[in-house]
Amino acid sequence: MLHTRAAEYVETLRITDYGFALERLTDNDDRLSTSFSHTLPYHRMTRLRTLTTWFFNFPPTYKMDEILFFKELNQSLPPNILLEFWTSKEIATGDCMFLCRQKQLRHLTASNIPDGFLRDPSFLPELADLELSHSDAEQLLHLLQMRAFRAFTVTFRRSDLDLPFCGNSLIMLDMRFQSISPSDRILFLDRRAVDCPNIVYLFLELPESEVGPLSNLNTLDSEDWLSPVITAFRKVAKTAGSAGDELHNDSSGYS
């Protein structure tokens, strides 16, 4: 249907590509060449607002579909149509050209993106929500000083805890911790109550090895374990004023 008349009406498109190598196709193969991610008629998708792509390459050497997909976006995707782009991959420098033409994009999720692009204020000037799963905290917090993000996802290690945190613009903050003691996490949350005054949604993800007490919340040990964190959350909510009443904790702020 996308290759006939439906492409013009597509507003949300999700692509899951399992990385079949094109060179393995035979004349009798029942997988039509038009079904590959790079053969879709992007040039006709003038109403496309959200594009999500997940590439699963088995084995990792089969990357042809992914390479051709980004090449096709660079060549064919109309400018200034996307509002959201999600991908599981790191976006290489040569693959960022289509993003340079998406001036209205507000949400970007990727494994990583070349640092120089996000430091350029002309690149995605409307970007408000950012999640780069494989970027280090120092790089991301530096971007937070340069851009007024609304939503931010960052993973902290012990060496990152004292980095400058400019969170005045943030409404949503999603934090993950690696190799950080419980006492340091509580201190870190206390600081966010000061420098993130507008937070409405606060998410905290702990290592799997530390979520054991959550399996039995009725025990005294669990209450002792949770109470300092709950106190820190309340400080953030109080600082946010009336917006704090809407504070949303995913499963009490843990996942």
Amino acid making up residue 177: F
DSSP 224: H
When pLDDT is averaged across residues 23-50 and rounded to a whole number, the result is: 74
Q: Residue 166: is its pLDDT beyond 80? A: yes
Check whether the bond before 59 is cis (ω within 30° of 0).
yes
The band of 238, judged by pLDDT with boundaries at 50, 70 and 90, is: low
Model confidence over 61-71: pLDDT tens digits?
Answer: 556 778 888 99
What gap in Å lies between CA 113 and CA 116, rounded to an integer?
A: 9
Model confidence over 183-233: pLDDT tens digits?
Answer: 888 888 888 888 888 888 888 887 666 555 544 445 544 445 556 666 766
Q: What number of other Cβ atoms are within 10 A of residue 181's Cβ?
A: 10
Quick one: CA torsion of 75, 135, 145, 203, rounded to 10 degrees? 110
Amino acid making up residue 229: V
CB 159 within 8 A of CB 184: no
pLDDT at 185: 84
Q: 159 — phi, psi (to 5°)?
A: -75, -10
The band of 242, judged by pLDDT with boundaries at 50, 70 and 90, is: very low
Beta bridge partner(s), residue 154: 175
Q: Higher pLDDT residue, 150 or 2?
A: 150
What gap in Å lies between CA 88 and CA 15, rounded to an integer?
A: 11
pLDDT at 207: 67
